[in-house]
């Protein structure tokens, strides 16, 4: 068991190092694309695409006030964006009712694919 725990610890350390290096490289790639004012870039062997998304982050208290029906609230149980979107599509909730219950957060995704 000691060997397994030791190996797990080693892998966890490598994971931290890899994640740190990936974050640095991601920042450099995003910076380069921003300086060049491009959202897509191709190198000899790779294709880079930057995707901007907006995500809604719901405030639980405001959401509870906007959804007074306890049966609907039980379906949510907590602010789950995909469940809320589903309830809006089913017309159980309306965008109008939810308009002040969330903040929009802009997210930048980096996609790198091999050609």
Kindly report, residue by residue over 28-79, the tens digit of the pLDDT: 999 999 999 999 999 999 999 999 999 888 888 888 788 777 777 676 667 7
**Element at 57 (helix H, strand E):** strand 46-58
The per-residue pLDDT for 77 is: 63
Q: How far apart are CA 7 and CA 9, in angstroms?
A: 5
Cα-Cα-Cα-Cα dihedral sign, residues 41, 43, 47, 50: negative
Q: Which residues pair with 109 in a beta bridge?
A: 51
Q: How far apart are CA 92 and CA 67, in angstroms?
A: 10
Does the structure show a pLDDT above 80 at 101? yes
Q: Which residues pair with 52 in a beta bridge?
A: 108
Q: What is the mean pLDDT of the chain?
A: 89
pLDDT > 70 in the chain, percent: 96
Structure token pair of residue 17 = 């190092």
Q: pTM value?
A: 0.63
């Amino acid at each position: 068991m000691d060997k397994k725990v030791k190996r797990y610890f080693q892998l966890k350390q490598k994971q931290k190092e890899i994640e740190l290096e990936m974050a640095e490289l991601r920042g450099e790639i995003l910076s380069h694309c921003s300086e060049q004012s491009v959202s897509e870039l191709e190198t000899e062997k790779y294709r880079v695409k930057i995707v901007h998304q907006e995500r809604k982050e719901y405030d639980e208290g405001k959401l509870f006030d906007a959804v007074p029906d306890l049966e609907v609230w039980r379906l949510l149980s907590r602010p789950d964006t995909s469940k809320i979107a589903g309830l809006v599509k089913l017309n159980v909730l309306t965008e109008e009712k939810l308009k002040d219950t969330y903040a929009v957060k802009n997210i930048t995704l980096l996609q790198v694919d091999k050609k």
